[in-house]
Amino acid sequence: MTDPVKLDIMSDPICPWCYIGKAHLDRALAAAPDHPFLIEWHPFQLNPDMPEVGMDRRAYLEGKFGGKEGAVKAYAPVVEHASNAGLKINFEGMERTPNTLNAHRLIHWAGIEGRQTAAVSALFKAYFVDTRDIGDLEVLTDIADSIEMDASVVGRLLATDADMQEIRDRDAHSRAMGISSVPTFIVGGKHAVPGAQPPELWAKVIAEVTAAQG
């Protein structure tokens, strides 16, 4: 049996391109069930300076993209690519843009229990499909429960500052490496694959990595 190859993924659970990129990767992995990847998710906050309570989504988008017209223009390709990936994003239902520091703490703790990808999937669904505020501690505790983590333990941890600095440090480390946008995938600790790449590209990467192992 060949050794697994690390696939490090820098992402943020409110990043639509990360949601799309994961869907593409998932499709390629499903088509190659004996793929060599060992996946680890890493924190990268799109908005590290976001207030702890988040902010009104419309105000956030118009501030970021210079008004309503700019926001609509910026999100048009997101809608198109999400549709092509078979994803529905309920932009109309989203009322707030959250601070994702606590969501990243949940992903970190889920990783300790071998449930990291399940946590990422649940956060994407909560935010993009169910339009829940994933900055809200009760929502995060509920998500933890849904992936069979101990919700009472997670709730107690979220009420403290446990691992906050570690998440900030890991985020800063990625930026120091030169990563400035997400998703960014790093294959085998060497090769960076930026952006929401299509399943066909991942199929080629899987084939190349597998061949190199042989």
- The 10s digit of each residue's pLDDT in 40-68 is 999 999 999 999 999 999 999 999 999 98
pLDDT tier for residue 214 given thresholds of 50, 70 and 90: confident
Domains identified in the chain and CATH numbers: 5-213 (3.40.30.10)
Of the pLDDT bands very low, low, confident and very high (cuts 50, 70, 90), residue 1 is low
Query: What is the rounded distance in angstroms from the CA atom of residue 73 to the CA atom of residue 56?
Result: 19
CA atoms within 13 Å, Cβ hemisphere of 102: 26
pLDDT at residue 160 tops 60: yes
- The 10s digit of each residue's pLDDT in 130-144 is 999 999 999 999 999
Per-residue model confidence as pLDDT tens digits over 186-198? 999 999 999 999 9
Model pLDDT for residues 64-120, shown as the tens digit of each residue: 999 989 998 999 999 999 999 999 999 999 999 999 999 999 999 999 999 999 999
- Residue 120 identity (one-letter amino acid): V
Q: Rounded to an integer, what distance in angstroms lies between the CA atom of residue 129 and that of residue 123?
A: 10
| Stretch (H or E) spanning 5 | strand 5-11
The pLDDT tens digits for 22-38 are: 999 999 999 999 999 99
Helix axes 151-158, 101-112, angle to 10 degrees: 140
Q: Given this model, what pLDDT does residue 2 score?
A: 73
Contacts of 6 (CB under 8 A, 6+ apart): 37, 38, 40, 186, 187, 188, 189
**SS3 assignment, position 185:** strand
Please compute Rg for the chain using Cα positions: 17
